[in-house]
Amino acid sequence: MTADFVPFADLIAALCFVLALRFKNSVWAVAGSVIAILTALMQPDVFSYTAIVVGIVIGGAVATVIVKRSRAERLAQLIPVLYGVSGLAAFLTATGILISTGVPTEALAAAGVVMCLLFGAASVLLAGRALFSEQENRLPWLGFCVGLAVAGLGFTMSSLILIVAGGLVGSACASARSFNAESLR
Amino acid sequence: MPVIVQLVAFLLACGAGAFLVQGTLPHKQRAAVLSLVGAISAVAVVGAIALVGPKEFSSSKLLGGLAVFFASAAVFASLILTQRLKEGLRGTSGQEPT
């Protein structure tokens, strides 16, 4: 698989995410995620497919059971958990990159690692507090932090899809906050 | 990838996200949309996959495996959660959430 293929696939996945936000339809989000994951699996330096597939299957099974078994009135409380888990994954990935390759030499990549670690940790903390305080007001901030953590990861790995997804998530959550503040008035 | 391309892509994505979500959220549908946005943020699984990729075992690979677990859990959870929240909206308000 040539490397020329990757930016093109990333662009299509990013377009799918934009369409998902435009039509508020999760089918586009599924398409974007599948394209992004398949592209990541086709990279020439990815070998251990077993570990990856086992991780995806176990994670998917645990999440499916938890969400399916939750009572309908408690579903909204799962959203901060969701964001916190995404932020935690970004944080862990950035830590792993720091351990394996050290601090990147390029300025943007180094800034991305710092951004990812800071906002990833912040999102985990915010998710924990949102879980126990049951205030919805923290949710936009939480999404903002997760978005910046994902974008930071994208700058570190110079991955277009992570940068675009992070920007989309961060700004979408921040603008959801402004609208919510108006509707409360 | 050149630095300027990455920065421009980030800024464009910020603009698109703000433009697409702004002013489109009745209060009840906000939870469903935020859950959908969560599905997009869970694409961090891509970075985790790249970290697990190498053949030899290392501590960073272990961290990557944990990250794959958490991120894929977030992908599945947010997609199912979006469906359930949309069904809930349909049941209470009787109108199709779009």
Domain residue ranges in chain B? 26-90
User: Between chains, do A150 and B44 touch, taking CB under 8 Å as contact?
Assistant: yes
- Cα A124 to Cα A146: distance, rounded to the nearest angstrom: 9
Task: Choose the mutation target among A21, A25, A92, A117 for the interface with B, i.e. most B CBs under 10 Å.
Answer: A92
Residues of A in contact with B31 (CB under 8 A): 75-76, 79
Q: Which residues of B touch A167 (CB under 8 A)?
A: 9-14, 16-17
DSSP 8-state code for residue A158? T
When pLDDT is averaged across residues A33-58 and rounded to a whole number, the result is 90
Mean pLDDT of B17-30: 74
Band (A73; pLDDT cuts 50, 70, 90): confident
Of A48, A108, A172, the CB nearest to B53: A48
Domains in chain A, please, with CATH?
1-69 (no CATH), 73-185 (1.20.120)
**pLDDT recorded at residue A162:** 94
- The answer to whether the CB atoms of B9 and A166 lie below 8 A apart is no
A-B CB pairs within 8 A amount to 318
A185 pLDDT exceeds 50?
Answer: no
The answer to whether residue A181 scores a pLDDT higher than 60 is: no
> Residue B92's pLDDT is what?
56
Chain A positions in Cβ-Cβ contact with residue B41 (cut-off 8 Å): 83, 86, 143, 146-147, 150, 165-166, 169
Intra-chain end-to-end CA distance of chain B, in Å: 37
- Using CA coordinates, name the residue in chain B closest to A3: B1
Token digits of residue B19: 């433009």
- What is each CA distance from A154 to A36, A105, A111, B5, B19, in whole angstroms? 13, 15, 11, 12, 22
- Whole-model pTM: value is 0.89
Of A146, A150, A138, the C-alpha closest to A76 is: A138
pLDDT averaged over every residue in chain A: 87
Say yes or no for a CB contact (<8 Å) between B80 and A68.
Answer: yes
Using alpha carbons only, give the angle A43, A49, A55 rounded to the nearest 5 degrees. 115
Check residue A177 and give its pLDDT.
Answer: 56
What confidence score (pLDDT) does residue B88 get? 77
At A136-179, the pLDDT tens digits run 667 888 889 999 999 999 999 989 999 999 999 999 888 875 55
pLDDT at position A76 is 78
Query: Mean pLDDT across chain B, nearest whole number?
Result: 83
Would the CB atoms of B43 and A162 count as touching at under 8 Å?
yes
Reply yes or no on whether the pLDDT at A63 is more than 90: yes
Give how far A164 is from chain B: nearest CA, Å. 5
Name the closest residue on chain B to residue A17, using Cα atoms: B40
pLDDT at A74: 80
Are the Cβ atoms of B85 and A76 closer than 8 angstroms? yes
- pLDDT value, residue A169: 92
Quote the pLDDT of residue A123.
92
Position A151 scores a pLDDT of 95
Of A41, A53, A36, A116, whose CA–CA distance to B68 is shortest?
A: A53
Contact A59 B43 (CB under 8 A): no
pLDDT (tens digit, 9 = 90+) per residue, B52-81?
Answer: 888 888 888 899 999 999 999 999 999 998
Cα(B22)–Cα(A2) distance, integer angstroms: 39
Instruction: Summarize pLDDT for A91-145 with one digit per residue, the tens.
Output: 999 999 999 888 888 889 999 999 999 999 999 999 888 877 766 667 888 889 9
User: ipTM of this model?
Assistant: 0.89
